[in-house]
Amino acid sequence: MTVATAAYSSLVTDQLYIGGWREGTSGRTAETANPFNNETIATIRQASKEDVDAAYELAEKSQAEWAALAPKQRAKVLNKAADWIEENRGAVVELIRAESGSTAIKANIETGLAIGSLREAATFPTRITGQILPSNTPGKANYVFREALGVVGVISPWNFPFALSMRSVAPALGCGNAVVLKPASDTPLTGGLLLGKIFEAAGLPEGVLGIVVGAGSEIGDHFVEHSVPRLISFTGSTPVGKGVGRAAVGGEHMKKVSLELGGNAPLVILDDADLEQAVGAATLGKFLHQGQICMAVNRIIVQAPLYDQFVEAFTERVKTLSYGDQLDDATVVGPVINDSQLRSVTEKIERARAEGAREVVSGPVEGRVIAPHVFADVTPEMELFREEIFGPVVGIIKAEDEAHALELANDTEFGLSSAVYTRDLTRGLNFARQIEAGMTHVNDITVNDEAHVMFGGEKNSGLGRFNGEWAIEEFTTTHWVGVAPGQAQFPF
């Protein structure tokens, strides 16, 4: 049953996408709703293990024919998918806003990222190359072919559901794989079933993409441990990602994993930074999508000479941010995604107060909307420093000098994104290269993603790389084919 009368109603479905549209066969149903007002968007009968089997089996049967298409034919499908999003952008943006609690700016950014992933992936069919290597056997040639893996299983998150599903689905398809996608339970439409509508309209052959909506407790392990997928691409929290990695690698059917996990991004502001620029970056990098981004600014580290000025200026800027209904175009900070996330963030606020952090910005908690909170004088022993917050709350830490700022930035189990502000670009580059992270930006925010540039983390922030040529490597495998003239003299 669907309940949708808004502009995006044509994008809403209550069925799974497995060789076409069909109802799930689980005994459970999932309701997806606007997190601000709980208005139901759709009620979906969920997938059973049998539905997962059907999606994987159909993908396996369909993959070889898809991979055998001429490169321009696969590219055409991906570009048509991007065209479809551009033509229906208004409805897509509104659905993202309604289902995931996204403000207008975040939903538009997310839609642009998805289009970018498709356009980049459309170039992959003609960018996949192999090698010819010499041999120690006279007359023999060694060919190394780069080929599709086969079937890829994708598990996507709820925070940027549309973009982060597309970031795995598009390149996997571009490389000639078939895909089965399991979106997050909070965002089954924008993270999953919407992609079915898009690729169906783009002419993707039946079965090459399957989409199953289901509870992790019912189908999660089965999805990962299944015999068909050769790679599991997972984006989500570090604890869950570790479990996915163990199941994929240590199970009966070993497979590759790509894991994009949690972060604890430091924004370092050195003593020669442009204060106004640094304040603007900290505000956007922290409060975009209520801070529910793996790359969001999680710790603001300020060198001592600029510390007091920064705290004052940042405090005044944050106090101007509007919060409330994400469907109001003036809103900057909307609701967090669900009640579990609400509890997690409000508990972190209470813990920061109990641990003695100085609260310089606070506000009410109304429903699932948490007003921006800022704490100064945070120390490395405090929870705000050590844990990923994933909400509109941030701590500011004083660094005595540049070396101390670097020490603080690296004092974490995570290493996804990071940033440093300084007027001296050489100083910034040298500092950036010493941060233990997959991505560091000089004089820019921590939240960055470009479809042609590698994306990924170090330490407990994940394994593997997304985007561009790095995605081609992730979603393909190499095959050595040696060709000898057949004139060898064998000793026995």
CATH classification of the domain holding 344: 3.40.309.10
Listed in sequence order, the residues at least 6 apart from 291 whose beta carbon sits closer than 8 Å to its beta carbon are 297, 389, 390, 391, 392, 393, 394
Considering the domain architecture, whether residues 156 and 25 belong to the same structural domain is answered as: yes
In Å, how far are 148, 247, 271, 416, 489 from 98, measured between CA atoms?
36, 34, 42, 28, 71
Whether residue 304 sits in one domain with residue 252: no
Mean per-residue pLDDT for 310-333? Answer: 98
Q: Tell me whether residue 456 is in a domain.
A: no
42/173 same-domain check? yes
Instruction: Give the model's confidence band at 4: pLDDT under 50 very low, under 70 low, under 90 confident, else very high.
Output: very low
pLDDT at 490: 87
Task: Look up the CATH number of the domain holding residue 18.
Answer: 3.40.605.10
- Claim to verify: residue 200 and residue 282 sit in the same structural domain: no
The answer to whether 295 and 106 have CB atoms below 8 angstroms apart is no
Is residue 52 situated within a structural domain?
A: yes
Q: Does the residue 273 lie in any domain?
A: yes
Let me know: does 144 contact 130? Beta carbons within 8 Å.
yes
Per the structure, the count of domains in the chain is 2
Region 308-326: what's the mean pLDDT?
A: 98
Average pLDDT over residues 240-245: 94
Residues 321 and 217 reside in one and the same domain: no
By annotation, the residues acting in catalysis are 260
pLDDT at 1 over 50: no
Question: What is the mean predicted confidence (pLDDT) over 373-397?
Answer: 98
Tokens for 223?
């999805």
Mean pLDDT in the chain? Answer: 96
Domain that holds residue 345: 265-442
Query: Is residue 89 very low, low, confident or very high in pLDDT (cuts 50, 70, 90)?
Result: very high
Evaluate whether residue 82 is within a structural domain.
Answer: yes
Q: Is the pLDDT of residue 362 over 60?
A: yes
Does 90 score more than 70 pLDDT?
A: yes
Which of 306, 300, 304 lies closest to 409, judged by CA? 300
Could you tell me the pTM of the whole model?
Answer: 0.95
Nearest 5°: phi and psi at 124?
-65, -40
Residue 449 belongs to some domain of the structure: no
In a domain, 342, yes or no: yes
Evaluate if residue 137 carries a pLDDT over 50: yes
Domain co-membership, 147 together with 296: no
Average pLDDT over residues 360-385: 98
Q: Are residues 89 and 224 in the same domain?
A: yes
**Residue 240: how many CB atoms within 10 A of its CB?**
17
Please give the torsion angle defined by the CA atoms of residues 318, 320, 325 and 331, in that order, rounded to the nearest 10 degrees: -100
Q: Which band of pLDDT confidence, cut at 50, 70 and 90, is reported for residue 314?
A: very high
| Confidence tier at 94 by pLDDT (50, 70, 90) | very high
User: Is 492 contained in some domain?
Assistant: no
- 21 & 126 share domain: yes
Same domain, 19 and 144: yes
Q: pLDDT of 14-53, one tens digit each?
A: 999 999 999 999 999 989 999 999 999 999 999 999 999 9
Question: Are residues 434 and 406 in contact, defined by beta-carbon separation less than 8 angstroms?
Answer: yes
Domain boundary among 415, 442, 469: 442
Angle of helix 194-202 versus helix 71-87 axis, rounded to 10: 120
pLDDT tens by residue, 45-72: 999 999 999 999 999 999 999 999 999 9
Rounded percentage of the chain residues whose pLDDT exceeds 70: 99
- Give residue-wise pLDDT tens across range 409-454: 999 999 999 999 999 999 999 999 999 999 999 999 999 999 999 9
The verdict on 438 and 327 lying in the same domain is yes
Distance CA 182, CA 42 (A): 17
CB 106 within 8 A of CB 99: no
- pLDDT computed for residue 6 by the predictor: 75
If asked whether residues 340 and 312 sit together in one domain, one would say yes
Question: Is the pLDDT assigned to residue 171 strictly greater than 80?
Answer: yes
Handedness of CA 334, 105, 458, 465 (dihedral sign): positive
Q: Is residue 454 part of a domain?
A: no
The answer on 211 and 94 residing in a single domain is: yes
